[in-house]
Amino acid sequence: MLAFEILQGIIGLLGTLLFVLIQGMVFAFAYLLIFVGGTGLGKNASARRKRGSWLLARFREREREREVRFADIIGLEEAKLELEQLVDILKRPAPYRAIGAETPRGVLLVGPPGTGKTMIARAIANEAGVPFFSLAAADFANMFLGVGSQRIRQIYRKARRHPRAIVFIDEIEVLAKARGTNLGTFEGDSNTLNAFLNELDGFEVNSSVITIGATNLEDQVDAAVMRPGRLDWQIYIGPPAEADREKLFRTYLALTQSSADPLAAAKLAVNFTPAEIRRAVNEAALLAVRAGHAQLDNADLAAAIDKVSATLERRSGTFVMSRSGDLSVRMGDVIGCDEAKGEVQEYIDFLRSPDRYRRIGAKVPRGFLFVGPPGTGKTLLAKAIANEAGVPFYSLSGADFTEVWVGLGAARVRQVYRQARKHKAAIVFIDEIDALAARRGLDMSGEADRTLNQFLVELDGFGRSNVLTIGATNRLDSLDPAVLRPGRLDRTVTVPLPDLDAREQLFAYYLRNVQAAPGIQCRQLARASWNLSGAEIAASVNEASFIALRDGHEQITQFDLNQGIERVAFGMNSRRKVNAEDRRLVAIHEAGHAVVEHHARPLRILHKLTIIPNLEGTAGYSWSVSDEEQLSFETRESIRAELQVLFGGRVAEELFYGTITTGAGADLQRAASLAHRYVWQLGMSDDFLADYDQVALEAASGRMISEQTKQRLDRAVEALLREAKEQTRSILQEHSEEHARLTAALLERESLYGDDILRVLRGEALEAAERSAFQDKGDG
């Protein structure tokens, strides 16, 4: 045993000597670069002189960093205020000892990389006027057994030679990795951690050495390090707020030739750290030189911010706010969900002044759930709430918490809420929350259930918490009921598809940002975009801009916008060639739909009729819209009329083509499904209304419906379909001339729109086809 300890000591001594030797060689090399290079000795003296000057400038910059004070650090006011007491303890320990207070042995600074943890630790030492021993935890990682623990003892031995001192350990999670989390952990790692814990404990109640650790992976730090009496102060060092980002941009831009606006840059660089802001300014300077600019401008800086944002990896240990550039969105920018905005206004008031609500005894719910189809603005509304209230916004996806590693999902939930609670008020937004809060018992491994249980614990919270949780989903039925109980996400806010007025407002909003021709009729666009979400309307305007450019337009026209809507709603047109006989068949089929639509549903507007196939497999289509928004109620007459329209293509083939084809297959399936719902679910059959209540009662009670009853229902469905088909035949026979004119016009033009369709039906002549060239080549 004694021999082993002697050998361990020799190995440790050799490792230390090797470390000192390498360090000495580095400084010697630097000396040669600066001073020998500066004298002009040897070849290429000028180049060496430049390299030496650069290195000397870096050394001077490092010296300035060593002299940093709290006043030199922009932002982090809460952290600096908390650390001022630590500075006072280092400056005046006697009053604290006299009153019997035990001075803290250590502080853990937690935050994303580049937020200034090292700088603020050095500022503490400078403010207190004490020696500062700075180390990286990687300095202790060594393959030789015992070397790491020996280095720990050496550094603390040096620190204790001073009346007061600070030992700073960066990336402390490498040194103090949670034990049992890594199967490949070397025995020496545990020995090093144990030595570190012994030094933290010390033998004095009031130690003269204060240890400061820094990490961005808080959950990887061993719990023993953070217990009381060790690193028992934990302070969050987060990304700067907008005002602080502006100051940082102003500071770094002052060192360059710049005309850029610091405030505009601060709004773009959402959640950038000081290090990332510095990098963005440097990138902007490089871009400006590359472009031949005399000074960097707003465009250079915006491009640099985008470049830095694109190269930053997602931080797995410390979750931060979303980097999306639309965090400046306000309630006025959210269109189409006025009821939902009114519902959440009280939450905004609460986040602005929570004390006013508490004084009156009001308990504002801890969270609420946005429910609605994709693209309706749920995420946008959540961001608007945060910006109106002026609170941090943590944007996450439910998939962020689903991991293959056991325990990581629950750990990430804790990290998010721990960080959010460091603020006076904050919003945690979880999109696609059904991935996190799905019904329990469906996961065989149990990991999803553990993650959900931790989420429920965080929702319940302890004591006062100004963290508001907002979830968003389009699958309400898949959520675990425990998430929706009172005290959790207990208020559900529906964010529906926009109605006619909202769609008109959305088109007007998005057209403000493009070059649109005068006289655009947003009302007509709103009618044409029935059942489209806000995101799809935005996509339609964007598609219209591409169509306009392809056609050589300098402005987006009404026709381009309708083409954009069609592209989003029906997909991209196909370029494949169609033979003459197939074109004639499709024209007869689609003209049949249009004629029946015109006479069976006169309140609907025929918007477009086309025989151009698309990539979805459709050979052509008839597109009609409603003049006004309608409620979801359907009458018997409207359902029967829809059945007639569905039969329009099939009956037209029989009457005017002489046979039937597979082209009407999808129409017949829809007609059969609608007729079945009409009879079985809605009880609207003429000869079966009296018995429908009894059938519904039998179905609700779980009893089997008799075969006789089923046969009666099926006969009612069959009779309804036969009746609809005969009525369709009567319409087409009566208006066969209209059908013939419409078929001929389709073969000539391939696509017909609104007013032109009505002119053909009335027998009026059409104007010259100005868009035929575009229609021939499709919108591919």
Query: Which residues, in sequence order, are CB contacts of 592 under 8 Å at separation 6+?
Result: 648, 649, 650, 651, 652, 653, 656, 732, 739
**What is the bridge-based pairing of β-strands 106-110 and 209-215?**
parallel
574 DSSP 8-state letter: P
Locate all alpha helices (DSSP H) within 601-664, ordered by sequence: 636-652
Question: How far is the C-alpha of 507 from the C-alpha of 577, rounded, in Å?
Answer: 35
Question: How far is the C-alpha of 451 from the C-alpha of 406, rounded, in Å?
Answer: 10
How far, rounded to the nearest angstrom, does the alpha carbon of residue 597 sit from its chain's CA centroid? 43
* DSSP calls for 480-528: -GGGGSTTSEEEEEE-----HHHHHHHHHHHHTTS-BPTT--HHHHHHH
Cα-Cα-Cα-Cα dihedral sign, residues 45, 46, 48, 53: positive
725-756 burial, b at 16+ Cβ within 10 Å, e below that, comes to bebbbebbeebeebbebbbebbbebbbbbbeb
750 as an active site residue: the answer is no
Asked if residue 408 lies in contact with residue 399, where contact means CB atoms within 8 angstroms, the answer is no
Residue whose C-alpha is closest to residue 635's, from 704, 682, 700, 686: 682
Token pair 């960093």 is found at 65
Residue whose C-alpha is closest to residue 135's, from 173, 186, 172, 104: 172
Beta strands in 111-222 (DSSP E): 132-136, 165-170, 209-215
556 DSSP 8-state letter: B
Cα-Cα-Cα-Cα dihedral sign, residues 576, 577, 581, 585: positive
Beta strands in 227-283 (DSSP E): 233-236
Selecting among 590, 597, 738, 750, the annotated active-site residue is 590
Question: How far is the C-alpha of 465 from the C-alpha of 236, rounded, in Å?
Answer: 17
479 DSSP 8-state letter: B
Burial class (CB in 10 A: 0-12, 13-18, 19+), 93: middle
**What is the bridge-based pairing of β-strands 367-371 and 467-473?**
parallel
From the CB of residue 593, how many other CB atoms can be counted at a distance below 10 Å? 27
Locate all alpha helices (DSSP H) within 319-446, ordered by sequence: 338-352, 354-360, 378-389, 408-420
Asked if residue 35 lies in contact with residue 28, where contact means CB atoms within 8 angstroms, the answer is no
Residue whose C-alpha is closest to residue 370's, from 381, 361, 385, 359: 381
* Lookup: tokens for 642: 């829809």
* Lookup: tokens for 94: 């006697």
Residue whose C-alpha is closest to residue 527's, from 628, 642, 632: 628
Asked if residue 297 lies in contact with residue 260, where contact means CB atoms within 8 angstroms, the answer is yes
**What is the bridge-based pairing of β-strands 426-431 and 393-397?**
parallel
Rounded to 5°, angle at Cα 324 from 320 and 326: 125
3-state secondary structure of 148: helix
Across the beta sheet with 393-397, what order do the strands follow?
393-397, 426-431, 467-473, 367-371, 489-494
Query: Which residues, in sequence order, are CB contacts of 754 under 8 Å at separation 6+?
Result: 605, 606, 607, 608
From the CB of residue 665, how many other CB atoms can be counted at a distance below 10 Å? 10
Could you list the active site residues?
Answer: 590
